[in-house]
Amino acid sequence: MTTLLEVQELSRDFGGVRAVNQVDFQVREGEILALIGPNGAGKSTVLNMVSGVIPPSAGEIRFASKPMTKVPGYEYAGLGITRTFQNLQTFDDMTVLENVMVGMHTKTSSSLFSCGMNLGKAKKEEKLMEQKAHAWLGQVGLATESQRLAGSLPYGKLRLMEIARAMVAGPRLLLLDEPAAGLNHTETAEMSRMFCEIRDSGTAILLVEHDMDMIMTIADRIVVLDQGTKIAEGTPREIQENPRVIAAYLGTEEE
């Protein structure tokens, strides 16, 4: 399988503290790669760098062979990298449908003038956005909530909405930051099934998550971070048996 995302010697300092230290890993086409580790291991920091939210202090990120560290954050979506957020970043005063329509921003190009005059192109794009957004709301099971204000939705549904918003433009790589946080067992299971469907339809996933059940069932490979450094990489089975991982992370759970 070809490499989609390549991370090399990625480091990030926060005021003298090294949060991420020379981390290497790859995400291949069509796989789910899980990034795990104890609290403060630097998982979210890695995800923020890979999504262009914060620049790395050192190291290189390549997406489909293109160096990404100099690319401005707003170009990531257009290149095919979208994400969800650990602490939800939803547009509360818009409807659920509108939230997802924002995800189509990079697939449309009507100018301000064209939108204000409601010219043919703007109308056509508006229809396309609506159609795609409805389709994805159906996929995540929010079809009946499309006209509700996002601010009035419960937590679990907002997580689903964020996934629809990230998927609607058909990205090549989806970054998920603790998507199962705050969800119950059934919701987590449903979400796991959805992620497998997304992977099978051709979008690779980089998943940061604490829910071990979810990771062990859906991840194709796992990268383990501890205190900013990569300590292991392998299949779920290999990771479960790795003594360093057990010591750093799983061990505390098995006591």
Partner 1 sequence: MKQLLQKWGKGFGIYVALMIVFPFVMPDEYYRSVGIIIGLHAIVTIGLCLVMGLAGQISLGQAAFWGIGAYTSAVLTTKYGLSPFVGLIASAIVPGLFAFILGRAIAGLQGYYLAMATLAFGYIVQIGITEWEPVTGGASGMISIPQVPFFGGSELSMYYLIWAVVTCVLLFSLNLLHSRVGRAFRAIHKSEIAATSMGIDVSKFKLNAFVVSGMFAGISGGLYAHYMGILDPQPFGLHESIKFLTMVVIGGMTSIWGALIGTVLIGFISEGLILLSEVIPGLQGDVDTIVFGGILVLIVMFMPEGLVPRIRSVYEKAQAKKAKEAAVKAQSGERVERKAAT
Residue 183 sits at φ, ψ, to 5 deg, of -100, 155
Q: Is 175 helix (H, G, I), strand (E, B) or coil?
A: strand
CB of 211 to partner 1, least distance (A): 23
CB of 203 to partner 1, least distance (A): 16
Q: How far apart are CA 86 and CA 2, in angstroms?
A: 29
168-207 footprint of partner 1 as x/- string (CB under 8 A):
-x--------------------------------------
**Angle at the Cα of 184 from the Cα atoms of 141 and 140, rounded to 5 degrees:** 15
User: Contact between 112 and partner 1 (CB under 8 A)?
Assistant: yes
CB of 54 to partner 1, least distance (A): 10
CB of 51 to partner 1, least distance (A): 6
What six digits make up the tokens of 23?
């981390």
Sort strands 66-67 and 58-63 into parallel, antiparallel or unpaired: antiparallel
Q: Which residues contact 65 (CB under 8 A, 6 or more apart)?
A: none
Pick the stretch among 13-21, 118-126, 191-199, 223-231 that binds partner 1 (CB under 8 A). 118-126
In the list 103, 191, 203, 242, the residue contacting partner 1 (rule: CB under 8 A) is 103
User: Contact between 85 and partner 1 (CB under 8 A)?
Assistant: yes
CB of 122 to partner 1, least distance (A): 6
Q: Which residues contact 100 (CB under 8 A, 6 or more apart)?
A: 133, 136, 137, 161, 164, 165, 168
Q: Which residues contact 216 (CB under 8 A, 6 or more apart)?
A: 236, 240
Q: How far apart are CA 140 and CA 195, in angstroms?
A: 10
Based on CB atoms, which residue is closest to partner 1, 96 or 232? 96
Question: Segment 33-72, which members bind partner 1 (CB under 8 A)?
Answer: 51-53, 72
Contact 214, 192 (CB under 8 A): yes
CB of 114 to partner 1, least distance (A): 8
User: Contact between 165 and partner 1 (CB under 8 A)?
Assistant: yes
Q: Which residues contact 200 (CB under 8 A, 6 or more apart)?
A: 30
User: Contact between 105 and partner 1 (CB under 8 A)?
Assistant: yes
Based on CB atoms, which residue is closest to partner 1, 106 or 229? 106
Judged by the rule CB under 8 A, the positions of this chain that interact with partner 1 are 51-53, 72-78, 82-83, 85, 89-94, 98, 101-106, 108, 110-112, 115-118, 122, 125-126, 129, 165, 169
